[in-house]
Amino acid sequence: MRKILYILLSLLIFSACTIETVSDARQETVQPQIYPDYLGVTIPVNIAPLCFNMANEDVLRIDAVITDNHGNNLHSQGEESIEFDLDDWHTLLGQNLGDSIYVTVSAKFADGWHTYRPFSIYVSPDSIDYGLCYRLIAPGYEVWSKMGIYERNLSSFDERALIENTQFEGCVNCHSFNRGNPTNMSLHIRGPHGATLLRNGDGSFTAYNTKTNQTLGFCVYPYWHPSGRYVAYSTNATSQLFHSADHNRIEVFDTASDLQVYDVDKNELLLSPLLKQDTVYETFPVFSPDGRSLYFCAARALPEGGHQLDSIRYNLYRIDFDPETGSFGNHIETIIDAEAHHQSVSFPRPSYDGRFLCYTLSDYGQFSIWHHEADLYLLNLSTGESYPMTGANSEDTESFHNWSSNSRWLVFSSRRDDGLYTRPYFCHVDANGGISKAFMLPQRNPHRFYYERLLSFNVPDFIIGPTHFDGRKACQIINDEYRKDFGVRKEPSSN
């Protein structure tokens, strides 16, 4: 009996691995429709294999042959998806640095094989960072269940959980690193065990209570100073509701918000009256690459009792910051006056080389993930020119984004796939601000992966190496009652 089972199993494996000959194929004049759409994309040399499915579900079998200009080739065939061998894939990309590879796809239907016109993929000499860190969460409005923070190796398909909320009661969010370096990390916990976990230098975590009697509330939306000494935060009184301004859409909005900078060395929140105005909603602070400026978004506050949510529009501003003294400038400069064009800026992110600043532009508000019109824009910091990132944008939502450490790759959140789930996409940005066509985070059998894993990828951020995050130790700290309080240092009013 055991021998019979072994023979049957061997036959199944052999059948699954059998390569059919693509014969008598009908030659199509069009390129294939594949999922995800990898036609004509630019990819880093160290990215994981671009496995794919046919978009047409009537396909019985798929065949793909990759060739290059040097006589090399790579072949794969499967019933559901094309899955390239990891080592063979990386060898081929390494042989084509700064060159294109060409993919010929054949698909077997009930009437036989069809071979499509080849498409190209350009292999950029600009590599991408080691990995990506993100939160996985089910889309929702008022409630949530299991969620966690995960890291993914971008050269393979390896993913691991850093921390999940199954070990404590609460929500994990707002993970942040200093230019992708996991040595400097900020992580927020919300709920009964609320805290901000900070890791600095030696890799150990401290749990902080970031709410003080001189500030609006808890610190959120962190962004590290390049020195690692400071972390910029906003503090927001946030609400959400369905409204009729735009087809009964859910809207997340602030009823108050301020900015502050935390001095890690002195355990002090640095406050400026210019960044703490009752008539202004300030949010999304980010340091410039040289650490001497603070960019942020701000909007005029609604009048008391006002609910005109579609009239809240954020502009992009800048204020000087002195890292030697921890003091702010006495003047706020307008960088982008989006309100003048009846639009709103959110999520400013300067490239680390100081060339560009990427931001999200929507019709109003600051929580752009629910705005189908939201697109990415690029600001040239030398010329002041600002333009849409056409290669990255789609007909649906583009929202949160972050730069790779070499400032050549952008990861961003998009709902272009189905309008419901947020998934990570990448695009290349060259030294002149040219934008490549975006591609989705690769997965084995991507159609099965994305359509069976009913979770959104939230707040994607690059990491330059493994985080070495000890989730068990972090949960012990979270479940402990001890919280270290923030001190406060206020700048005098200029009035």
Could you tell me if 136 and 97 lie in one domain? Answer: no
Given 96, 124, 152, the domain boundary residue is 124
Query: What is residue 5's predicted lDDT score, i.e. its pLDDT?
Result: 44
Given 79, 98, 124, the domain boundary residue is 124
Average pLDDT over residues 223-242: 83
Could you tell me if 65 and 195 lie in one domain? Answer: no
Could you tell me if 285 and 151 lie in one domain? Answer: yes
Could you tell me if 152 and 266 lie in one domain? Answer: yes
Task: Kindly state the DSSP code that residue 76 receives in the 8-state scheme.
Answer: E
| Residue 191's CATH number | 2.120.10.30
* Whether residue 43 has pLDDT greater than 60: yes
Structural domain contains residue 441: yes
Contact in structure between 82 and 443 (CB atoms under 8 Å): no
Q: Which one has a higher pLDDT value, 495 or 396?
A: 396
Tell me the sheet residues that pair with 362. 344
Could you tell me if 180 and 56 lie in one domain? Answer: no
Could you tell me if 52 and 181 lie in one domain? Answer: no
Could you tell me if 112 and 227 lie in one domain? Answer: no
Grade residue 140 by pLDDT with cuts at 50, 70 and 90.
low
Structural domain contains residue 162: yes
Average pLDDT over residues 125-138: 96
Query: What is residue 13's predicted lDDT score, i.e. its pLDDT?
Result: 40
Structural domain contains residue 172: yes
Query: What is residue 168's predicted lDDT score, i.e. its pLDDT?
Result: 85
Domain count, the chain: 2
* Whether residue 309 has pLDDT greater than 80: no
* Whether residue 9 has pLDDT greater than 80: no
Could you tell me if 349 and 444 lie in one domain? Answer: yes
Contact in structure between 161 and 134 (CB atoms under 8 Å): no
Query: What is residue 200's predicted lDDT score, i.e. its pLDDT?
Result: 77
Structural domain contains residue 14: no
As a whole number, the mean pLDDT across the chain is 90
Could you tell me if 201 and 284 lie in one domain? Answer: yes
Residue with tokens 């230019």: 179
pLDDT, one tens digit per residue, over 143-163 is 456 889 999 999 999 999 999
Tell me the sheet residues that pair with 458. 135
Grade residue 304 by pLDDT with cuts at 50, 70 and 90.
low
Average pLDDT over residues 49-63: 96
Query: What is residue 493's predicted lDDT score, i.e. its pLDDT?
Result: 64
> Residues 31, 450, 176, 301: is their CA dihedral positive or negative?
positive
Query: Residue 354 — left, alpha, or beta (φ > 0 → left; ψ -120 to 50 → alpha)?
Result: left
* Tokens read off for 116: 């499509």
Could you tell me if 267 and 173 lie in one domain? Answer: yes
Structural domain contains residue 489: no
Structural domain contains residue 156: yes
Grade residue 15 by pLDDT with cuts at 50, 70 and 90.
very low
Q: Which residues contact 231 (CB under 8 A, 6 or more apart)?
A: 176, 186, 198, 222, 223, 224, 225, 261, 262, 264
Structural domain contains residue 173: yes
Least confident of 63-67, 336-340, 358-362, 450-454: 450-454
CA–CA distances in Å: residue 336 to residues 94, 211, 296, 318: 41, 31, 11, 10
* Whether residue 319 has pLDDT greater than 60: yes
H/E segment holding residue 82? strand 81-82
d(CA 298, CA 312) in angstroms, rounded, equals 10
d(CA 479, CA 495) in angstroms, rounded, equals 45
Average pLDDT over residues 61-88: 97
Structural domain contains residue 17: no
Could you tell me if 139 and 246 lie in one domain? Answer: yes
Grade residue 139 by pLDDT with cuts at 50, 70 and 90.
confident
| Residue 99's CATH number | 2.60.40.1220
% residues pLDDT > 70 (the chain): 90
Query: What is residue 146's predicted lDDT score, i.e. its pLDDT?
Result: 80
* Whether residue 495 has pLDDT greater than 70: no
Query: What are the respective helix, strand and coil percentages of the chain, to the nearest 5?
Result: 10, 45, 45
pLDDT, one tens digit per residue, over 89-118 is 999 999 999 999 999 999 999 999 999 999
Grade residue 7 by pLDDT with cuts at 50, 70 and 90.
very low
% residues pLDDT > 90 (the chain): 78
Grade residue 254 by pLDDT with cuts at 50, 70 and 90.
low
Average pLDDT over residues 403-432: 96
Q: What is the DSSP string of 231-296?
A: EEEEEEEEEEEEESTTSSEEEEEEEEEEEEEEETTTTEEEE-GGG--TTEEEEEEEE-TTSSEEEE
Query: Residue 170 — left, alpha, or beta (φ > 0 → left; ψ -120 to 50 → alpha)?
Result: left
Query: What is residue 241's predicted lDDT score, i.e. its pLDDT?
Result: 55
* Whether residue 358 has pLDDT greater than 90: yes
Spatial CA neighbour of 107 closest among 73, 40, 56? 56
Query: What is residue 238's predicted lDDT score, i.e. its pLDDT?
Result: 57
Contact in structure between 461 and 135 (CB atoms under 8 Å): no
Radius of gyration, alpha carbons of the chain: 25
Contact in structure between 294 and 232 (CB atoms under 8 Å): yes
Give the range of the structural domain holding residue 372, as residue numbers without chain letter.
131-479
